Structure 1
Amino acid sequence: MSARKSWFPETATIPINPGVYRWFDAQDRVLYVGKAKNLRARLTSYFAKPETLHERTRRMVESATRIDWTLVNTEFEALQLEFTWIKEFHPPFNVQFRDDKSYPYLAISLGEEFPRVFTARTRVKGKTKYFGPYTQAWAIRETIDGLLKVFPIRSCSDSQFSGARATNRACLLADIGKCSAPCISKISADDHRLLVNQFAGFVNGTDTSHLKTLKEKMLQASNDENFEMAARYRDQQGALEAVAAKSAVVLDDSANADVFALELDGYSAAVSMFNVRKGRIRGARGWVVDLELERTAEEVMEYTLHNIYVLEGAEVPKEVIVTVAPADAPLLVELLSSLRGTAVRIRVPERGDKKSLADTAQINAANSLAQFKLKRATDFTARSVALANLQKSLGMTRLPLVIECFDVSHLAGTNIVASKVVFVDGKPKKDLYRRYNIAAASDDTDAMNQVLKRRLALAVQEGDLPDLILVDGAKPQVSAAVAAAKSVGIVGLPIVGIAKRLEEIWIPGDSFPVLLPRASEELFLIQHLRDESHRFAIAHQRLKRSASISTQLEEVAGLGQKRARILLKTFGSAKRVKLATEQELGDVPGIGPALAKAIYVTLRK
């Protein structure tokens, strides 16, 4: 059955030019904005059979009531117009970015007669200059406190400033030398702005000349035997050096770049960003990305850069370092260069300090995603929603409060093992996990059938059947599990499988799989079960394989347990011992040529 609806445009009427298209719903709300090099090729891909579309794409198509498009002359114009419309309409099916926490900025209100420095949690467009973001608010307070000793600019609120002006009495900061007291006219507006510019230049890492100037003044005062003034310059120099020392030096002094790393797991993603100015990390930030429609890593990186530099209006550096090249990279370079006013380079580093920094950002992104998933897994409300939606999606008569998931693991048909993990109320119950050894099986479905027979036969005896059984696999594995249940007299027990390709859920007797909404709580729960079962099975399979080789080694005359352990420790794994040559085995301390030959022959029997 075709997905084509009565309002869909005829294929021949859709132009083949580059352009930007919008999907609208019945309330004329923009659902999605996309660009295409060939509008006809892109739009007709949405008119396929519903069951072939991804779940989120199908929901968007079913929610829409019309499409329109705008032709452009170049792909670059298409990129610009797409970003403009995403910014204007905030379409729900486009990539949505959420900060994984609220990051603070150091801000200077340049639009005021006497600008002030303060901490801000959000960026507001206007004449305020923002630096950062910083990872901690206390880091900003320490930076401001240190720099006010050298650049005593205003840091009070508007109400405090007005009150001081009305009473002609400065605050305590003026008494201790951390404010030049513009409120009582102790400094002119021009001189105060000069201090502000010096403050901003030092924070931005573009002006370090003040350190050299202070050192020269300190030496001159010392030569003039004005030791009190020399001590003052020394303290100011120390304050600036202390602030600078808190920023880690990661690249050479001329490097100004933003570093982006992406961790993608198919239904959500995390992005980590480092701001590097004058070779130092001046700020760090992270996001969790909601992927409403299926996206590649290249597309997510493209929308990340768009979100930062176009939607948020962040300063564009001369170099953008990424772990994966964004989609339409040449067009994006052109757009960022136009925003900066000079050439911008986007690159994926392959070696050196920039590669190391990108790897560090990648570790941060992976950690952010892991923390997000952990938080989600331990959220009681999210688990409740997941169980309720899963019951509805699978047509179950009761909540699946106890779910058992099974997976099979082997190495080329040898050392076959299986695992059972149990989730109670949506949480892992590790004391109920079990491992199974399988002597022989013709294939994965046979192995799954054997494991389920053993488990369900015991469940019948003990009366502890779960509410739902999940197997790692598609229709064949589900059929094998159902056959195992019937063989021990169990009928009506909900059994489903999860296939990895599209994360589709297979239900016995159904011709088509169930596609749970991407990024939904119920899909997250199913994936968590599958991944935990897979991890548990793999760990057991590796342990069994290692034990098997250890046993073989111990059978070699003259080797013994101690030397067998030395071999495993030297090579790092049982697999590497088995792949080692006679020469490599003989090089291990305590293993001579004769013993090496015996080991080599034994492991290849």
Structure 2
Amino acid sequence: MADPSTYRPAPGTVPTDPGVYTFRDADDRVLYVGKAKNLRNRLSNYFQDPAHLSPRIRTMVFSADHVQWTVVSSELEALNLEYTWIKKFAPRFNVMYRDDKTYPVLAVSVKEKYPRAFLYRGPRRKGVRYFGPYPKAWAIRETLESLTRVFPVRTCTNGVFRRHEQLGRPCLLGYIDRCSAPCVGRVSPSEHMELVDGFCSFLAGGNTERVMREVRHEMEEAAGDLDFERAASLRDQLAAMDSAMEKQAVVFSDATDADVIATAGDDLETAVQIFHVRGGRIRGQRGWVVETGDGADGGDLPGLLADFLTQFYGQSTELSDATESAVGGNSRAAASREVTLEPVPREILLPAQPEDAAEMTDWLTGLRGAKVTLRTPQRGDKKALMDTAAENARQALRQHKLARVGDITARSAALEDLRESLWMDESPLRIECTDISHIQGTDVVASLVVFEDGLPRKADYRRYRIREAAGGGHSDDVASIAEVVRRRFRRYREDRTAVPEGDDGGERLEGEVTVREAEAGTARFAYPPQLFIVDGGRPQVEAAQAVLDELGVTDVTLVGIAKRLEELWVPGQDYPVIVARNSPALYLVQQIRDEAHRFAITFHRASRGRRMTRSVLDDVPGLGPKRRAQLVKAFGSVARVREAGEEAVAALPGFGPRLAAAVISALDGQAAQTRRSPQSGPPPQSDEAGESGPSD
């Protein structure tokens, strides 16, 4: 860990202009992104007495190796650039607000020809409108049951829809008038879209009273015309709408359009709760728990709120734009968007004012296209709702700690135990593992999996085809391990020595970088792991260490795990490291090794499948997929193509003498090779038989 005093910028070298700064480690990985209206004043706060810094910031400045900054023209531009970089780099020490996805939502797939309403959990997708979230799944099912009596939109899956479309008769919901049955053509796409627009509009609260007033008026007219059956049906529809509306409590008497945000935290984690209030009603609730290290009840609450507003409303606006582009061009859908919940409301109620409140207000106003107000309620109904949201945040934090304490403790204990077992200076926060997979020396491939903080980071997984140490039916597992290590760390060494392209548009201060240089600096797989694991025993470990010595890589701890006794081999040691069977460290290493094994076998099976389905026709120049399919369709098989001869092939549409000669020549060559080698190789075996194992 670096001492902050060793990389503190010289006095007077940091400009006083607005800008964005990044703290980076020795491998140029972004650890923290921040903005400032005065870069010199803000950066000086990080280099004060470490005892005065919060635990999270103190850890960050000691983990960093250098600081860079980019000067911009205004505070608003700095805010936008900070949000962009936090989203791009996902810095470890920035508070990352990701939806906990605990609550289910009611989704409507507006981009489909016949949109459907369904219960959904998970990340947001383009072309889908979401309502909620709801506290329980049964609440969504009851809402759907009530509203489909009024708006009989489709709720079935695509498979059920296609099956009844082929059968020519609707499902049970269609027979009991709970679905308009678009699968059998009872309604046209435009008529079904009208129902979907009414359904979405009612849920969004844009025309609740108008729809209920119209249904009540139709019921009274039907009763006046002595059409009691229709009047009774309309009465049931009114009751269904009342039931749906009762699920959303009335909190204000006026048409309040606001988001209520509350927090609760301790020294390590903070829970954030947001209530979406539209038209005086709570339309949804969302929650997050983030690791901050500062505590929301401490002095950094304004900074935490500023980070939350930036990420939440920036992402919400992008999702809204994506949904609009997915349904654009449909006048009905466009009309329904007018009553959709705005990503940025007119008013945002907060427990305290965020950092740079004036600039934040201007930014939110720009996102909304109308004035936005940030307020801290002191009394009345809005203060009561703020207290309710705060109580929800406290309960969410409590439940999160009860659910997560075991996992967090186990991972931390495993990393610390692994550090002690391998005599490392610090816990291996990034671990990589490689494994080899093949069958009798064919289709030899390797995998590289990455774990950070004890969890898989699948975005950094890599796959390799072994080129030098295998081929022609032979394979050397030790040499294959060496090849993978060389290819992985040669890339790291090249990236470490590469100089990013910069701008020469004027003299710059030491430490100052351009936006392009900052983004190019971390868009690479450059930084090394603290621990690198190979699947094998002493020979594999020694071969891998020889490659690291050759490349001059000295900051990586290498270890091998042997399958037979689950022992750990360290380079240069005559005996393995024996870790207790019940040790969390051994369990973590086994988990990483098994993930590398799974990833390698998956890639090997895919490679073998592609090879076994290849044909000699695939290598004929000028013969594409359509022409190959045409040949097989015309003659029935590849063997019959060869028997037919050049003239028959040349007579096919699109074939000429030259292409026909190339096809027959390739088939003759394959036949001659088959005669010389009647047995192409040993019979196939199971994947487990060919998996590279330890040589211990």
TM-score of the two chains, using structure 1 as the length reference = 0.60
- Residues 203-247 of structure 1: CA distance to partner in whole angstroms, max 9, x if unpaired? 111111111011110110111111111111111111111111121
Q: Paired residue for 1:34?
A: 34
Which secondary structure does the structure 2 equivalent of 1:152 belong to?
A: coil
- Choose the corresponding residue for 1:322, options 318, 330, 350: 350
Determine the C-alpha separation between the residues in 2 that align with 1:54 and 1:218: 64
In the other structure, the counterpart of 1:225 is: 226
In structure 2, how many angstroms separate the alpha carbons of the residues matched to 1:171 and 1:320? 45
| Off by >6 Å, runs of 4+ in structure 1 | 386-390
Q: CA deviation at 1:20?
A: 0.4
- The alpha-carbon deviation at position 158 of structure 1 amounts to 1.9
2:397 aligned with 1:369 = yes
Change (3 A) 1:130 1:123: farther
Residues 1:260 and 2:261 aligned together: yes
Letter in 2 for 1:210: V
* Mapping of residues 64-103 of structure 1, within 5 Å: 64-97=64-97, 99=99, 102-103=102-103
Task: Return the alpha-carbon distance in structure 2 between the equivalents of residues 100 and 158 of structure 1.
Answer: 28
Q: CA deviation at 1:324?
A: 1.8
- The residue aligned with 2:156 is 156
Separation of aligned partners in 2, 1:120 and 1:363: 26
Q: Distance in 2 between matches of 1:384 and 1:126?
A: 35
2-structure distance, mates of 1:7, 1:330: 33
Preserved contact between residue 3 and residue 47 of structure 1 (Cα < 8 Å): no
Cα displacement (A) at 1:312? 4.2
Output aligned runs, 1:135-154, within 5 Å: 135-154=135-154
Map residues 273-422 of structure 1 onto 2, 5 A cutoff.
Answer: 273-292=274-293, 296-313=300-317, 315-375=343-403, 379=406, 382=409
Question: What residue in structure 2 maps to residue 560 of structure 1?
Answer: none
Three-state SS of the structure 2 residue aligned to 1:234 is: helix
Return the offset for 1:202: 0.7
Give the C-alpha shift of residue 53 in structure 1.
4.7
1:368 CA displacement? 2.1
CA shift for structure 1 position 15: 0.9
CA contact (8 A) 1:258 1:276 kept: yes
CA offsets per residue over residues 4-45 of structure 1, 9 Å max, x none? 566554332211101001122233321110011111222233
- Alpha-carbon deviations, 1:377-407, whole Å to 9, x = none? 6x387289579969x99xxxxxxxxxxxxxx
Q: Separation in 2 of the partners of 1:3 and 1:49?
A: 12
Letter in 2 for 1:304: F
Secondary structure of the structure 2 residue equivalent to 1:16: coil
CA distance in 1, matches of 2:53, 2:348: 35
Deviation at 1:253, TM superposition (A): 4.7
Q: Quote how far apart the aligned CAs of 1:201 are.
A: 0.9
Distance 1:384 1:14 in 2: 40
- How far apart, CA to CA, are the structure 1 residues paired with 2:113 and 2:98? 35
Between the aligned partners of 1:56 and 1:276, the Cα distance in structure 2 is 33
Q: For residues 368 and 6 of structure 1, do their structure 2 counterparts lie closer, same or farther at Cα, with a shift above 3 Å needed?
A: closer
CA distance in 1, matches of 2:4, 2:236: 75
Q: 1:3, 1:48 within 8 Å by CA — same for their partners in 2?
A: no
- The one-letter code sitting in structure 1 at the alignment partner of 2:106 is L
Deviations 1:300-324 (A, max 9, x none): 1222222321134472222211222
**Contact preservation (8 Å) 1:95, 1:292:** no
C-alpha distance in structure 2 between counterparts of 1:358 and 1:202, whole Å: 26
C-alpha change, 1:202 and 1:175, in structure 2 (3 Å) is: same
Paired with 1:185 and 1:143, the residues of 2 have a C-alpha distance of: 26
Q: Distance in 2 between matches of 1:54 and 1:365?
A: 22
Question: Which residue pairs with 2:179 in the alignment?
Answer: 179
Q: Cα deviations across residues 36-66 of structure 1 (Å, max 9, x unaligned)?
A: 1111222233334556654433432333333
Counterpart of 2:31 in structure 1: which amino acid? L
Greater RCO, 1 or 2 (C-alpha within 8 Å, sep 6+): 2
Q: Counterpart of 1:536?
A: none
1:576 maps to which residue?
Answer: none
CA RMSD, aligned part only?
2.8
1:215–1:237 contact (8 Å) kept in structure 2: yes
Report the Cα distance in structure 2 between the residues aligned to 1:44 and 1:155, rounded to whole angstroms.
Answer: 58
Q: Is the 8 A contact 2:104 2:136 kept in 1?
A: yes
Once the two structures are TM-superposed, the CA of residue 136 in structure 1 deviates from its matched residue by 1.1
C-alpha distance in structure 2 between counterparts of 1:153 and 1:60, whole Å: 52
Letter in 2 for 1:30: V
Partner Cα separation in structure 1 for residue 86 and residue 407 of structure 2: 34
Runs of at least 5 residues in structure 1 that lack an aligned partner in the other structure: 394-605
Structure 2 residue runs of 5 or longer lacking an equivalent are: 320-342, 421-696
Q: Give the equivalent residue in structure 2 for 1:431.
A: none
Q: Which moved more, 1:160-169 or 1:176-185?
A: 160-169
User: Does the CA contact (< 8 Å) of 1:152 and 1:178 recur in 2?
Assistant: yes
**C-alpha distance in 2 between matches for 1:95 and 1:350:** 28
In structure 2, relative to structure 1, the CA distance for the partners of 1:332 and 1:49 (3 Å cut) is: closer
Identity %: 44
1:522 corresponds to which residue?
Answer: none
In structure 1, how many angstroms separate the alpha carbons of the residues matched to 2:67 and 2:361?
A: 29
Deviation at 1:67, TM superposition (A): 2.5
Q: In the superposition, relative to structure 1, how do residues 244 and 115 fare at CA in structure 2: closer, same or farther (>3 Å)?
A: same
**Can you list the C-alpha shifts for 1:331-360, whole angstroms capped at 9, x where unaligned?**
222222222222222211111111111111
Letter in 1 for 2:25: D
Q: CA deviation at 1:108?
A: 0.9
Tell whether the 8 Å contact from 1:96 to 1:291 is kept in structure 2 after alignment: no
Gap change, CA 1:44 and 1:298, over 3 Å in 2? closer
Distance 1:186 1:76, change over 3 A: same
Could you tell me the TM-score, scaled by structure 2's length? 0.53
Deviates more, 1:276-285 or 1:134-143: 276-285
In structure 1, distance between residues paired with 2:377 and 2:54: 33
Measured at CA, do residues 265 and 180 of structure 1 come closer, stay the same or move farther in structure 2, by a change above 3 Å?
Answer: same
| Equivalent AA in structure 1 for residue 311 of structure 2 | N
Displacement, 1:177? Answer: 0.9
Using the alignment, how far apart are the partners of 2:119 and 2:198 within structure 1? Answer: 18
Pair 132,61 (structure 1): closer, same or farther in 2 beyond 3 Å = same
Residue 271 (str. 1) matches residue 299 (str. 2): no
Q: Distance in 2 between matches of 1:327 and 1:51?
A: 23
1:18, 1:10 → 2: CA distance? 19
Q: Residues 141 and 198 (structure 1 numbering): CA distance in 2 closer, same or farther, change over 3 Å?
A: same
Letter in 1 for 2:353: A
Aligned partner of residue 23 in structure 2, secondary structure: strand
One-letter code of the match for 1:302? A
SS in 2 for 1:21: strand
Does structure 2 conserve the Cα–Cα contact (< 8 Å) formed by 1:299 and 1:327? yes
Deviation at 1:169, TM superposition (A): 2.3
> Whole-Å Cα distance in 1 between the matches of residues 55 and 275 of structure 2?
34
In the alignment, the residues of structure 2 paired with residue 197 and residue 312 of structure 1 have an alpha-carbon distance, to the nearest angstrom, of 21
